[in-house]
Structure 1
Amino acid sequence: MGAPHRQYITLAKSFKEKRDRNIDISRSQAKKSIFFNSFRENPNSSLIQDFSFAGFDYGESDPDALFATFKVYDAKNYGIYPNKSEDCTLKIQNAVDTIGRDGGGILFFSNGIYNVGQHGRFIQINYSKIVIKGESKSTVFVSHSPTLMGEKNPWLSPFVFTTGELLQSSNIFFGVQFKKRKSIITRSASLTDPGSDGSIIEAQYLTKVVEPAYRGDSILVVDDTKSLEGSKYVILALFNDYGNDELIKTLLSVDALREEWKTAKRASDEIAPSFQWLVEVERILDSKRVKLKQPLRVDAKAEFYPELYGVEMLENVGFVNFTLRSKWNGIFRHHGFPIYFSKREAQIMDYGWNGINMKRVSHGLIKDVVIDNFTNPLYVQDARNCTVDKVVIKGSSGHQGIKLYGHSSDNLFCDIFFETCFADMMGGEGNCYGNVFTCIEYNNTENIYVDFDLHGFSEGPFSPPAFNLFELVWGFRGIKGGGALFNQPACAGYNVWWNIFSEGYDRTPDVFVNTCYHKSNKIKQILGVIVRTIVTLVHKKSIGLSFVANTLKENLSKLNNDTSVLRREHFKLFRSSIISGYCTKYPMRIYDSGDNYVYVENFSGHQLSEPISLFGEQRRIRAKLGDQNEIKYDDCNQTTK
């Protein structure tokens, strides 16, 4: 591997000691970004999107100040006392519902231990303006049992704290469905995957967009705004045409769809709304025009048949100043059935011990929270403009550290400290756009590498994550694509990695790795064929000799097929990704020297890009330009000075 770059160590030390983003970097250690200069000149045509709208209230107000106006309710008044042996789940649920019906407020818990989650119960937040607040980190909620629901979409099982459950029940996705959906069951290679029939909770159709709108526009001309009355949040959906897959190829930044990308190839045949953006309506201008709170990220061309769908959201939900801990035994083996554990045991360790799911919430806050010993500590699902600030994730290693799901857009994650690792460390899947991860640190005490993780489509009519920003991240190795092969590629275009302090080694110096396309020797390939054949037989519940022979023959035929292995060229699966200031402790590589697939600058091993914080500088620019929604509050101390 070679010795670490001396300048890398100097920069990394500076970053760790001064985590306020105002790092004093000399000219020799930072280089002005060409990508950022392009953004300054024309934000609506640059490779880089405007990320300044991420976070609580778009960075325009202080959530702490808002919550300070809420009425405070002491948990003791609802019979909830610390350090008792009883399970408090039902009492907490009753208190939350009572406060919610009365208009909301803060449910305050004194220091001590509160037992929750026995018998698989979980706490639902189904009202706006509900804040769960502890006296300090010594306010500890202890979960005693898993919340797995494994019959359908077990990866969407409930969490100890689950918001929006009445709007969107667990174990099912939400969004806009295919226009011509076919009856197809999809399953991954995992034997614990019960399969999905593709059903989702469908958003309510409102109206058509009748005139083209383009990136940077915030006003849409629609058929009739009357149907938008009362809809503060909408999904802007763009559709593929029958027999025409231009939209999905545009989102994925590809000229052609690979044969094994089965979900992507359904887009034109079943008319998929591949682009689905959850966005806030600012106001209705007249009978034909509606103004959005932020500019479009893509062109809403007429040939994509843009439509608006209504979305009901909770607002101003918060989790503040406490510790959430579980009694999980910490035994984890990623998708460990059938070799290591039973099907149920494997599902529990993958999807059963879950912390907080901020689902269907807009302008929410998770702050000063410790999440200890969960296989899935934190989901943000179908949510927007939530801020996750000063969160510590610790305990046993598990499945998914921080996961964006569904239509989560413009959320902000800052000052996150990982004291443990996860198979899928931080990232997301589905139509997740404009999210920002800034000042994230992984304390790698056991020399276990982790990667950024992107996981593909989620469900048939969706598309992979795009236009997200990861900046000022310490301790992650590379960028990983995961998920089922049929749901590849793992990400769509124009995700940005900005000033990353890479650390760790995984037998390869390649920055981009996709687990579906791992290179292996012939023996491992043949073993893989046998395993895939067994998985198929189990899923199909068939042991007929002819079926076995045909399945084995089909899998063997893929051994020498270029569609099954991309040798050293996984970057081709991350089209239009943007790398700027990727500092590496050991020599790493991206073979795409001509920027034909990904865009790369300042990939020298020890040189940062200016501005140091892309997000902070974009926030500063928006404030300086006098945006009509002027930034009055600088959450997470993001503004560059």
Structure 2
Amino acid sequence: MSGVFPSIEPISNAKTFAQQIRKKRPQRSQQWLCAIISMACALSFLASGGVNAGALAQKVHPKILNKELAQKHYLPDFSYAGYDNGNSSIDTSDYRVIDVGEHGILPNDTIDDSKALITLLEQLKNDEHPSVLQFAPGRYIISSIIYFDRNYTVLRGAGSGPGGTEFYFPRPLIYAPDPPELAELREYLTKLNKVQREKRNNIELPFTQWAWSGGYFWTRIKDQRVKKYLDKFDEPVRELAKPISATQGQFTVQVDTANTLSIGQVIEIQWLNDKGKDGPLIHELYKSEDVYVGSHHWNFANLPLSRQQVKITAIAGNTITLASPLLHDINNELSVKIVQWDHLHHIGFEHFTMTFAYAEPVAHHVEQGFNGIYLTRLFNGWVDDVRITNADSGILTEEVANLSINNVVTDGKKYAHYSVQMGGVHNVLVDNLQVKNKVEHPLSFNTFASKSVYRGAHVELDPILDQHSGVNHQNLFDNISVVVNLTDGSREYPLFAGGGAKYWKPSHGAYNTFWNINVHFNNGHDSTESVKLNGMNDGVAARVIGVRANLPITVEYGPNPYIEASNERLSYDSLYQYQLQQRR
């Protein structure tokens, strides 16, 4: 059994077990015997994952995996998420290792290391040799944004645990110079009068630019737009070819001419809605369901509502082959472009802790900027073995693809906005994320996230599997475990609650998937009444498979989900891993 509890065999008869103990140890007190009985019952119940022991004997093979049903209920192939679409492992064995101590960057000397690190990165800018910046054990102090705009660069510490490397951030980003890359966001927040209003708390404060953007370690292309907010900042897009026809889930695309394309090139395929409120792309994204669709879907005709950054693996005449399956159909009805996508590649962050000075949170969207890593314009990058303490947001993303974010822990006393957020991402894998702190959106698929995966995550406090509007679609919550405390005798919990602004509703587009979601209730065991897991009423064409708990549950999800195998163990703990094995 994966998730919160280890795999154990259920004890079939706790009473018989207790009788055997009594015969062997008659001198034990009645109190000790009761403890044994309680433990036996608890072990039996936990082993069953909230269902009876008989049901546990056989794992369920979900019908949606059968070819016949798959034709009726489309299930995306999520196995292409992650570095190199899951085809190879990260290998830095031939990277040159640079000891940062030789450049005056020393641990535990109470000297701010920001300027020395910025100088070292500047010296390496024109050096094309793949490089690892190796930090020693101990504490380094950082108070300036460290930009990473050089390919084949790794920031590596000595480990994220005791005796490892710690980066300490004594103050928030509100004291850093305004980044030019966020100028558009700053103007947008002002123009739309984005203000956090909480009358009860006497709060009427403007949003900060750090609420969902920015970080102390920041991958960027200098002066490159991070995200579209306002038309006035638009620049001409270089169209490489006009796509003619293709089928969702397939790998080939017919184009008018392939003369401007090449094998190994990374392109961006854009689907746009230039046909107003009733455009065909809106019907494609939301399957013509009767849900509220916000105005941002048609107020920006040149804004791609769906994007796929992908490598070309073959060209034959005017047919190109892609490295990962196509997000949507391409036909005469849909407005689709193939454009140039400027990006960085092979930048990694690994084996260290990021610790922020504790500060009481002000309000939602009024974060001061205790943000860890900000990944933008990155393809085939990674984060691995990183602990982040007392952050507003641990890791934020925008305009990235093919990333692996593995073995991250967020913790601390600070009430955070995000742990590891996925916004503007395609084919990103977040694997083994441990969320130990209280977070507004512990796991979150945000605006424009597609074909991305949270796998093996564990959320300990007030879990929400957030789908944050903004055309996020075809994403996967995979093999997730959460811990829930029911309040005031309630028999329901909003596990699927979705956030986001009204102008970007509904909460998600088609084919967002939940697979093997394991809920551990800390309380509520004084009743046999089922607990209702709910919170979503505008999530289109969701697949909700294998939600189970240590209490009886019902799953409520709207408007028309595909729900299967609730309260049951699945034959495959991870859909991502199953699909990866199927294609190999």
Q: Pick the TM interval, shorter chain.
A: 0.7 to 0.9
Shift of 1:348: 3.0
Which of 308, 316, 323 lines up with 1:277 in the alignment? 308
Q: Structure 1 counterpart of 2:430, which letter?
A: F
Aligned equivalent of 1:228: 261
Aligned equivalent of 2:458: 441
State the Cα RMSD in Å: 3.1
Q: Is the 8 A contact 1:97 1:127 kept in 2?
A: no
* Match runs of 1:543-554 below 5 Å: none
Measured at CA, do residues 156 and 472 of structure 1 come closer, stay the same or move farther in structure 2, by a change above 3 Å? closer
Which of 470, 474, 479 lines up with 1:467 in the alignment? 474
Aligned equivalent of 1:628: none
* Match runs of 1:69-218 below 5 Å: 69-103=94-128, 104-117=130-143, 121-137=144-160, 138-148=164-174, 151-152=186-187, 154=209, 155-166=211-222, 168=224, 172-174=226-228, 197=230, 204-218=237-251
Aligned residues: 492
Match of 1:511, SS state, is strand
Are 1:354 and 2:384 an aligned pair? Answer: no
Shift of 1:10: 1.6
Match of 2:407, SS state, is strand
Q: Is the 8 A contact 1:146 1:348 kept in 2?
A: no
Aligned equivalent of 1:629: none
Shift of 1:440: 0.8
Q: Structure 2 counterpart of 1:223, which letter?
A: D
Q: Is the 8 A contact 1:96 1:107 kept in 2?
A: no
Are 1:603 and 2:562 an aligned pair? Answer: no
Distance in 2 (alpha carbons) for counterparts of 1:106 and 1:304: 44
Greater displacement, 491-500 / 81-90: 81-90
Measured at CA, do residues 204 and 85 of structure 1 come closer, stay the same or move farther in structure 2, by a change above 3 Å? same
Shift of 1:492: 0.9
Shift of 1:420: 0.9
Aligned equivalent of 1:20: none
Measured at CA, do residues 105 and 8 of structure 1 come closer, stay the same or move farther in structure 2, by a change above 3 Å? farther
Q: Is the 8 A contact 1:209 1:305 kept in 2?
A: no
Distance in 2 (alpha carbons) for counterparts of 1:78 and 1:227: 44
Distance in 2 (alpha carbons) for counterparts of 1:44 and 1:202: 41
Aligned equivalent of 1:51: 78
Q: Structure 2 counterpart of 1:9, which letter?
A: L
Aligned equivalent of 1:552: none
Aligned equivalent of 2:544: 579
Aligned equivalent of 2:63: 34
Aligned equivalent of 1:185: none
Deviation track 1:172-191 (CA, whole Å, cap 9, x = no partner) reads 515xxxxxxxxxxxxxxxxx
Distance in 2 (alpha carbons) for counterparts of 1:97 and 1:284: 38
* Match runs of 1:514-529 below 5 Å: none
Q: Structure 1 counterpart of 2:570, which letter?
A: S
Greater displacement, 43-52 / 377-386: 43-52
Q: Is the 8 A contact 1:8 1:583 kept in 2?
A: no
Shift of 1:421: 2.0
Match of 1:610, SS state, is coil
Measured at CA, do residues 393 and 231 of structure 1 come closer, stay the same or move farther in structure 2, by a change above 3 Å? same
Which of 511, 533, 542 lines up with 1:511 in the alignment? 533
Gaps of 5+ in 2: 1-40, 179-184, 190-208, 485-494, 525-529
Q: Is the 8 A contact 1:500 1:582 kept in 2?
A: yes
Distance in 1 (alpha carbons) for counterparts of 2:467 and 2:145: 28
Shift of 1:159: 0.4
Measured at CA, do residues 506 and 266 of structure 1 come closer, stay the same or move farther in structure 2, by a change above 3 Å? farther
Greater displacement, 67-76 / 157-166: 157-166
Shift of 1:200: 5.5
Aligned equivalent of 2:467: 454
Aligned equivalent of 1:405: 423
Which of 287, 297, 306 lines up with 1:264 in the alignment? 297
Deviation track 1:310-359 (CA, whole Å, cap 9, x = no partner) reads 11221111111111111132x12542xxxxxxxxxx6234xx11001122
Match of 2:116, SS state, is helix
Shift of 1:271: 6.4
Q: Structure 1 counterpart of 2:172, which letter?
A: P
Q: Is the 8 A contact 1:283 1:291 kept in 2?
A: yes
Q: Structure 2 counterpart of 1:316, which letter?
A: H
Measured at CA, do residues 411 and 126 of structure 1 come closer, stay the same or move farther in structure 2, by a change above 3 Å? same
Aligned equivalent of 1:633: none
Distance in 2 (alpha carbons) for counterparts of 1:333 and 1:296: 42
Distance in 1 (alpha carbons) for counterparts of 2:296 and 2:523: 29
Aligned equivalent of 1:319: 349
Normalised by the length of structure 2, the TM-score is 0.77
Q: Structure 1 counterpart of 2:286, which letter?
A: L
Distance in 2 (alpha carbons) for counterparts of 1:292 and 1:495: 22
Measured at CA, do residues 151 and 328 of structure 1 come closer, stay the same or move farther in structure 2, by a change above 3 Å? farther
Shift of 1:582: 0.3
Gaps of 5+ in 1: 14-24, 175-195, 336-345, 458-463, 514-569, 624-641
Bigger share in strand: 2
Match of 2:64, SS state, is helix
* Match runs of 1:279-358 below 5 Å: 279-286=310-317, 288-329=318-359, 331-332=360-361, 334-335=363-364, 347-349=366-368, 352-358=369-375
Distance in 2 (alpha carbons) for counterparts of 1:271 and 1:509: 45
Deviation track 1:344-403 (CA, whole Å, cap 9, x = no partner) reads xx6234xx1100112211111211111111010011321111111111111122111111
